[in-house]
């Protein structure tokens, strides 16, 4: 039976680390547009985006393992619709953090471009097909845009619980 009031420190650390990595993922992909095509800075931002995306996926897998081995506090009571919305947003964020790096890797593989992490070229997963690459990239970008809404809903939910309901929801992931 779960009786603790907060999440395990490793789960809290992973939550906030992934949050920072997600901010960096969005910053780097948006900043890359500020630089002309073919420039070193634009390439650096894109590569940083790839590396950060892979890091998000890796730390998300660690977070899932931690969640399975270190249960969190008992969920707070609340209206069923509120619980459904919270669960939907959490599942959406989880899908975002795992699916986006996979889609990005597939888009790059179908483009035929090598994917390099810290100087190590990762294998291409597919044959080159620019049309499929463009389609996957469009899906990747659309889901990325949806990610803004999910992240915003998650943050608003935490602030709503903290400032309006004045419950311990935010504090459980803060301590």
For the ranges 72-76, 93-97, 124-128, the lowest mean pLDDT is seen at 72-76
Residue 121 in 3-state DSSP? strand
Select from 114, 122, 145 the least CA-distant residue to 54: 122
Residue 165 has pLDDT above 90, yes or no: yes
Residue 47 lies in a domain: yes
With 0-12 CB in 10 A as exposed, 13-18 as middle and 19+ as buried, what is 142? exposed
Q: Read off the pLDDT band of 90 (50, 70, 90).
A: very high
Give mean pLDDT, residues 82-106: 96
Distances (CA, A) of 150 to 15, 44, 85, 124, 147: 15, 27, 11, 30, 5
Residue 115 in 3-state DSSP? strand
Residue 2 has pLDDT above 70, yes or no: no
Residue 143 lies in a domain: yes
Which pair of structure tokens corresponds to residue 122? 């990762």
Residue 4 lies in a domain: no
pLDDT of 35-48, one tens digit each? 999 999 999 999 99
What is the radius of gyration, based on Cα positions, of the chain? 18
Residue 2 lies in a domain: no
pLDDT at 3: 56
What percent of the chain lies above the pLDDT cut of 90?
82
Residue 1 lies in a domain: no
- CATH number for the domain spanning 15: value is 1.20.950
- Dist. CA 110–CA 48, nearest whole Å: 20
DSSP conformational letter for 126: S
What percent of the chain lies above the pLDDT cut of 70?
98
Residue 3 lies in a domain: no
Residue 81 lies in a domain: yes
**What total number of domains does the chain contain?**
1
Residue 105 lies in a domain: yes
Give mean pLDDT, residues 114-139: 90
> What is the residue range of 163's domain?
9-172
Instruction: Indicate the pTM of the whole model.
Output: 0.92
């Amino acid at each position: 039976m779960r009786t603790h009031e907060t999440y395990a420190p490793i789960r809290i650390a992973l939550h906030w680390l992934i949050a920072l990595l997600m901010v960096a993922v969005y910053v780097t992909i948006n900043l890359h547009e500020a630089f002309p095509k073919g420039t070193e800075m634009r390439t650096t931002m894109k590569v940083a985006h790839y590396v950060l995306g892979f890091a998000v996926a890796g730390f998300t897998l660690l977070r899932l393992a931690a969640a399975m081995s270190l249960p969190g506090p008992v969920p707070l009571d609340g209206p069923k619709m509120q619980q459904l919305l919270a669960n939907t947003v959490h599942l959406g964020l989880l899908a975002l953090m795992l699916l986006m790096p996979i889609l990005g890797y597939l888009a790059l593989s179908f483009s035929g471009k090598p994917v390099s992490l810290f100087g190590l070229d990762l294998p291409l997963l597919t044959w080159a097909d620019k049309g499929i690459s463009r389609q996957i990239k469009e899906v990747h970008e659309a889901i990325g845009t949806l990610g803004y809404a999910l992240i915003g809903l998650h943050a608003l939910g935490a602030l709503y619980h903290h400032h309006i309901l004045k419950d311990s929801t935010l504090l459980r992931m803060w301590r």
